[in-house]
Amino acid sequence: MKKMILVFSLCFFMGNILLAASKDPVAVMFQVNGKVEYTKNGRKWKKVRHSKFLFAGYQIRTGDSSTAKITIQKSGKNLKLEPSSHFEVTKNGLQTRKGKLSVRESSGKLATGIMKRFTKSQTYTTVRRSRDNQDRAVIDTARKIKVSSSYPYLVWENPGKQYSFELKIGDRTQQVPATSDMTIRIRINPFAGTQPLHINALENGRVIASLQPYRSKGQIKDHTLTWIDNAANIGIQAEVEDIKRVYGENDFMLGSLFERQQMWVAAMDSYQAYLDNNPDEIEMTPYLFRVYKKLKLERKYKLALLEWQQAMKE
């Protein structure tokens, strides 16, 4: 009997692992023309109006004279859904139930690289136990952050409404007033190249906490902030336009692009904008959690995670 219970428990545990592993998108659908619908459960069908991420278990159907394109996450291949067709999304791609599916050219390197970042989202859906530092202020953020004239913001978690801040970028110092907001968000003025980043939390003019250096490969290093110059920024904007041309106004695809560039705040803003405008895309929320963790926005992350867990139960 004990052996049977052990086997059952092991199967249940493995089932949960497999379920977690299946929560990354299989594909993204785009360039939707006509009546294209999807269902998560095989019962309630919803119209696709713009680009849409697809997960294993979804079904898609196209009406008469209706088409759409799909990029497969693993292979980067582009597929075209022909009119009057019905497909099931599997973990490996699409399975045809009715109609035709034609293979188009492969996606470009940019789109393929962006899609391949949509993996391991379940890593960010469990809060690990940690000691809360409620008895003292703590300042932290991503180790390397890039900003530009198009995306000039820096953020960090606010340790308390009683604190003001001193932001130092290289030899420049900027005073930041106290606020009750959970997150401090500052627009950065242009500077040259990569500079060391220092942040002090002040109470009554006295330094209470500071952004601490970190250890990497046996060396102690400062956090850094990089201002992307005009030439590089033009290149990034060109990539943004390429994504928009193919996938439309898909802020989630842009968020992945910004992650690749270490533009963490721009990535966070893009993911958040997409989820705000597409509440039905709740499965994609863990990628926003990933950026929260990168920026050390722990309280924002934990609150958002609790909301997401509750929504996933409904």
Q: What is the pLDDT of residues 22-48, one digit of tens each?
A: 489 999 999 999 999 999 988 899 999
The predicted structure's pLDDT at residue 264: 98
Q: What is the mean pLDDT of residues 157-165?
A: 97
At a CB cut-off of 8 Å and minimum separation 6, what does 233 contact? 148, 149, 150
Question: What is the tens place of the pLDDT at every residue in 173-190?
Answer: 999 999 999 999 999 999
Q: State whether 34 and 89 are in the same domain.
A: yes
Domain span at residue 199 reads 120-314
Q: State whether 95 and 157 are in the same domain.
A: no
Q: State whether 196 and 235 are in the same domain.
A: yes
Ranges of H-type helices in the chain: 2-21, 109-115, 230-247, 251-260, 264-277, 285-294, 298-313
Q: State whether 73 and 136 are in the same domain.
A: no
The predicted structure's pLDDT at residue 232: 95
Which 8-state DSSP code applies to residue 122? G
Is 147 a member of any domain?
yes
Tally of domains in the chain: 2
Is 129 a member of any domain?
yes
Q: State whether 96 and 161 are in the same domain.
A: no
Is 115 a member of any domain?
no
> Which one has a higher pLDDT value, 172 or 92?
172
Unique residue bearing structure tokens 């009119």: 83
Is 143 a member of any domain?
yes
The predicted structure's pLDDT at residue 19: 36
Question: What is the tens place of the pLDDT at every residue in 241-279?
Answer: 999 998 988 899 999 999 999 999 999 999 999 999 998
Q: State whether 296 and 176 are in the same domain.
A: yes
Q: State whether 176 and 213 are in the same domain.
A: yes
Q: State whether 261 and 157 are in the same domain.
A: yes
Unique residue bearing structure tokens 């942040």: 199
Q: State whether 132 and 261 are in the same domain.
A: yes
Is 170 a member of any domain?
yes
